[in-house]
Amino acid sequence: KKQVFDKIQTERKNLPIYAAREALLKEITQNPALVVVGETGSGKTTQLPQYILENFLQDENTEDRIPTVAITQPRRVAAVSIARRVAEEMGVTLGSKVGYSIRFEDCSDPTDTRLKYMTDGMLLRESQIDPLLSKYTVIILDEAHERTLHTDILFGVIKGIMKKRSDLKLIVMSATLEAKLFSDFFDAAKIVYVSGRQYPVQIYYADEEQLDYVDSCITAALQIHLDESAMSPSVSTGDILVFLTGQEEIESVSKILDERARLLPPECLKLLVCPIFANLPSEKQMEVFDPAPPGCRKVILATNIAETSITINGIRFVIDSGLVKSKAYNPKNGLEILKVCNVSKASARQRSGRAGRESAGKCYRLYPEQSHQGLEDYTVPEILRCNLCSVILQLKSMGIKDIMKFDFMNTPSSSGLIKSLEQLLSLGALDKKGDLTPLGTQMSQFPLDPMYALTLIQSQKMNCVQEVLSVVSMLSVETIFYAPQTKRVEANKNKMKFASKTGDHLTLLRVYQEYQAVKKNSNASELQRWCQEHFINYRSMSKVCEVRQQLKEHLESMNIGLTSCGRDLNQVRRCLCAGFFMNAAVRVPNKRMYKTLVSQLEVRIHPSSVLSDPFPDCLIFNQVIMTSNQYIRDVTAIDSAWLPELAPSVYRGHLLDQTNI
């Protein structure tokens, strides 16, 4: 163990940031706000917080106040895996001196934890309860270049706090060179550049657009594996990193690669497939960091988590689909759509850079060079392309009355802001003056988007709290059902065994209830087998149970009793209607198409839905995703008479008087 520890200490000293240690510490002491820019993998996220702590502990005069450092990450996986790594580097158990906090999972100690890695969303939530974030001596907003919604809001919130707390230190860390923007925002904060190491990366483009990029990724990975010295296990081979867009895709590619890898000639290196995505249990997440065993090559299948958030050593080949799943928002109709989009040039550059950290590498872009020239230079900040209801609700609950005057780094369009305010008015969260109602206050306390929070709160009136709790928890994970390519038909048949005629929500409820029934009477491995037999994702179900437990505690703390509607499941659908009425759609006569009531958008039911012919006249949905069509997901038939009397603003697109907000 000591040997491992010593080895890690040597590794730490070899990171590029180590050379800048003293200079960084000096600047932190001398400046209230600092911007640190450095190449991905130079050691910013894992090292800088440790330097701050070590430096303090050296200094004997100030022992009365050991600093507490919050380090934000846009992604859960990054927060968890980095905290785990840093705990290992410091030789402490995770959750003690070093911890993490992500939605529905807090692994930190309120008094003991000094370095707290957390999602940006969690720090924002904490600021709702503790407006001065008084627990923290240093706040590090990491991955600032990603410009996620929550990080952007934190910029403004923390700028406000700094006016009231002269003792607070802020460090903004970023991987690209747009440092000036951050520096300007924080009153000309000093910028420190950490020099990195980067070897040349040869870029290859596809000759033409790929019809099926998933298939191209698989072919490319196998081709690289065979071409690149796979026959001589003595040579250091280098691993492959593939950028894909989401869990479902990664899981299906992972299965296919596993199958094909078994057919490789025996003299060939073994291919070790390592997926990484949010729902993966954390031990599994850590496996991607382990070096490939002798005679093996790793293929890492990742979302853009591996672009800058986490650095995996040993990569020499990158396969870039050129795609990312992201949000798009139309302020005219207030709908946020999830879709697979082209990455920006900046992203593509970051992705290829992953191949050249330790030696010269290669990057295969699965699109023609000409398409690359057509890409945007930078990714548009999320705040400019998403629905703002959730953060407005949070800001209002923090006492910020005039959202239009909030200090945004990039101000969202006023039409977008007004639309979101209108929606909050329709949901009953705000009154006509734009002030938070008691209902809105209650909604803001849930770690959920407003419509989900409202659904849960309404379930009290409809005496179906238990059931709605289960449905909302089931909706909080990405995939419940899975369908391996070779067993699609079987998997689908199986899913239909759980299907409710009314649609997906009651289907999810049935799955949850049956899972619970099995769980009661069996051990973990039997439960796992049951899941496998029914093509249900066991890991997702475990997560659902954790989420449900937490939401249940929230409800109890608000004195909301856990009522049940038993078999009268119409109550559950009514309740969904009460929360998601803005997502109601009516059928276009004689077509398999629907039109949303509020936004008049033409949509189709996603093929993953259990709803089938005869299709209902009216329904509600949770999500719009755009692939080959505009699809709605998680769909349930409703009676249009259940739709509440709506605030006129929803149906008529009536604009609120701006000055009141």
| Residues forming the site for ligand ADP (CB under 6 A) | 15, 38, 40-47, 81-82, 85, 286, 289, 311, 313
For ligand ADP, the closer of residues 85 and 116 by Cβ is 85
Q: Choose the one of Mg ion, ligand ADP, none that binds residue 341, judging by a C-beta under 5 to 8 angstroms depending on kind.
A: none
Please report how close the Cβ of residue 82 comes to ligand ADP at its closest, in angstroms.
Answer: 6
d(CA 439, CA 262): 57
For ligand ADP, the closer of residues 196 and 579 by Cβ is 196
Please report how close the Cβ of residue 65 comes to ligand ADP at its closest, in angstroms.
Answer: 26
Please report how close the Cβ of residue 198 comes to Mg ion at its closest, in angstroms.
Answer: 15
Q: Choose the one of Mg ion, ligand ADP, none that binds residue 93, judging by a C-beta under 5 to 8 angstroms depending on kind.
A: none
Please report how close the Cβ of residue 152 comes to ligand ADP at its closest, in angstroms.
Answer: 20
Segment contacting Mg ion (CB under 5 A): 43-51, 221-229, 321-329, 553-561?
43-51
How many of the chain's residues bind Mg ion (CB under 5 A)? 2
Contact 347, 320 (CB under 8 A): no
> Which is nearest to 417 in space by CA: 441, 445, 384, 440?
384
- Give backbone dihedrals phi and psi of 533, rounded to 5 degrees, phi first: -60, -30
3-state helix, strand, coil in the chain (%, to 5): 45, 20, 35
d(CA 34, CA 142): 12
For ligand ADP, the closer of residues 191 and 286 by Cβ is 286
Q: Which long-range contacts (CB under 8 A, 24 or more apart) does 279-287 make?
A: 279/247, 279/477, 279/478, 279/479, 279/537, 279/539, 279/540, 279/543, 280/77, 280/539, 281/539, 282/80, 282/81, 282/84, 285/77, 285/80, 285/81, 286/81, 286/84
For ligand ADP, the closer of residues 73 and 458 by Cβ is 73
Please report how close the Cβ of residue 644 comes to ligand ADP at its closest, in angstroms.
Answer: 48
Q: Choose the one of ligand ADP, Mg ion, none that binds residue 397, judging by a C-beta under 5 to 8 angstroms depending on kind.
A: none
Output b/e per residue, 265-301; b: 16+ Cβ within 10 A. eeebbbbbbbbbbbbbebeebbebbeebeeeebbbbb
- Give backbone dihedrals phi and psi of 92, rounded to 5 degrees, phi first: -120, 165
- Give backbone dihedrals phi and psi of 268, rounded to 5 degrees, phi first: -80, 155
Q: Which long-range contacts (CB under 8 A, 24 or more apart) does 416-420 make?
A: 416/329, 416/331, 416/384, 416/388, 417/388, 417/392, 417/661, 418/331, 418/655, 418/656, 418/658, 418/661, 419/331, 419/332, 419/334, 420/334, 420/387, 420/388, 420/389, 420/392
Segment contacting Mg ion (CB under 5 A): 37-45, 128-136, 412-420, 596-604?
37-45
For ligand ADP, the closer of residues 68 and 176 by Cβ is 176
Question: Any idea what the Cα angle at residue 490 is, between residues 486 and 495, rounded to 5°?
Answer: 125
d(CA 519, CA 502): 26
Please report how close the Cβ of residue 229 comes to ligand ADP at its closest, in angstroms.
Answer: 23
d(CA 464, CA 480): 22
Contact 258, 285 (CB under 8 A): no
Q: Choose the one of ligand ADP, Mg ion, none that binds residue 85, judging by a C-beta under 5 to 8 angstroms depending on kind.
A: ligand ADP
Q: Choose the one of ligand ADP, Mg ion, none that binds residue 335, judging by a C-beta under 5 to 8 angstroms depending on kind.
A: none
Please report how close the Cβ of residue 354 comes to Mg ion at its closest, in angstroms.
Answer: 13
Q: Choose the one of ligand ADP, Mg ion, none that binds residue 311, judging by a C-beta under 5 to 8 angstroms depending on kind.
A: ligand ADP
Q: Choose the one of ligand ADP, Mg ion, none that binds residue 466, judging by a C-beta under 5 to 8 angstroms depending on kind.
A: none
Please report how close the Cβ of residue 36 comes to Mg ion at its closest, in angstroms.
Answer: 10
For ligand ADP, the closer of residues 81 and 459 by Cβ is 81
Q: Choose the one of ligand ADP, Mg ion, none that binds residue 356, judging by a C-beta under 5 to 8 angstroms depending on kind.
A: none
| Torsion angle in degrees (nearest 10) through CA of 631, 632, 633, 638 | -150
Q: Choose the one of ligand ADP, Mg ion, none that binds residue 81, judging by a C-beta under 5 to 8 angstroms depending on kind.
A: ligand ADP
Please report how close the Cβ of residue 254 comes to Mg ion at its closest, in angstroms.
Answer: 25
> Which is nearest to 147 in space by CA: 306, 379, 479?
379
For ligand ADP, the closer of residues 300 and 499 by Cβ is 300
For Mg ion, the closer of residues 174 and 420 by Cβ is 174
Output b/e per residue, 392-421; b: 16+ Cβ within 10 A. bbbbbbeebeebbebebbeebeeebbbbbb
> DSSP states of 87-133 as a string?
HHHHT--BTTTEEEEETTEEE--TTT-SEEEEEHHHHHHHHHHSTT-
For ligand ADP, the closer of residues 15 and 318 by Cβ is 15
Please report how close the Cβ of residue 142 comes to ligand ADP at its closest, in angstroms.
Answer: 7
The neighbouring-strand residues paired with 503 are: 500, 636
Please report how close the Cβ of residue 250 comes to ligand ADP at its closest, in angstroms.
Answer: 19
d(CA 139, CA 70): 5
Please report how close the Cβ of residue 87 comes to Mg ion at its closest, in angstroms.
Answer: 16
Segment contacting Mg ion (CB under 5 A): 45-53, 229-237, 283-291, 524-532?
45-53
| Footprint on residues 263-282 left by Mg ion (CB under 5 A) | none
Give the tokens for residue 119.
């999602």
For ligand ADP, the closer of residues 286 and 593 by Cβ is 286
Please report how close the Cβ of residue 45 comes to Mg ion at its closest, in angstroms.
Answer: 3
Q: Number of C-alpha atoms within 13 angstroms, CB side, residue 6?
A: 3
For Mg ion, the closer of residues 78 and 94 by Cβ is 78
Please report how close the Cβ of residue 220 comes to ligand ADP at its closest, in angstroms.
Answer: 24
Contact 182, 150 (CB under 8 A): no
- Give backbone dihedrals phi and psi of 299, rounded to 5 degrees, phi first: -115, 115
Q: Choose the one of ligand ADP, Mg ion, none that binds residue 15, judging by a C-beta under 5 to 8 angstroms depending on kind.
A: ligand ADP
Helix axis angle for 538-557 and 524-533, nearest 10°, is 110
Q: Choose the one of ligand ADP, Mg ion, none that binds residue 76, judging by a C-beta under 5 to 8 angstroms depending on kind.
A: none
Question: Any idea what the Cα angle at residue 259 is, between residues 255 and 264, rounded to 5°?
Answer: 140
For ligand ADP, the closer of residues 311 and 321 by Cβ is 311
Residue nearest to Mg ion (CB): 45
Q: Choose the one of ligand ADP, Mg ion, none that binds residue 542, judging by a C-beta under 5 to 8 angstroms depending on kind.
A: none
For ligand ADP, the closer of residues 72 and 311 by Cβ is 311
Segment contacting Mg ion (CB under 5 A): 39-47, 92-100, 161-169, 550-558?
39-47
For ligand ADP, the closer of residues 194 and 477 by Cβ is 194
For Mg ion, the closer of residues 307 and 504 by Cβ is 307
Could you say which of 42, 45, 459, 542 contacts Mg ion (CB under 5 A)?
A: 45
Segment contacting Mg ion (CB under 5 A): 36-44, 158-166, 354-362, 483-491?
36-44
Please report how close the Cβ of residue 126 comes to Mg ion at its closest, in angstroms.
Answer: 21
Which residues would be at the binding site for Mg ion (CB under 5 A)?
44-45
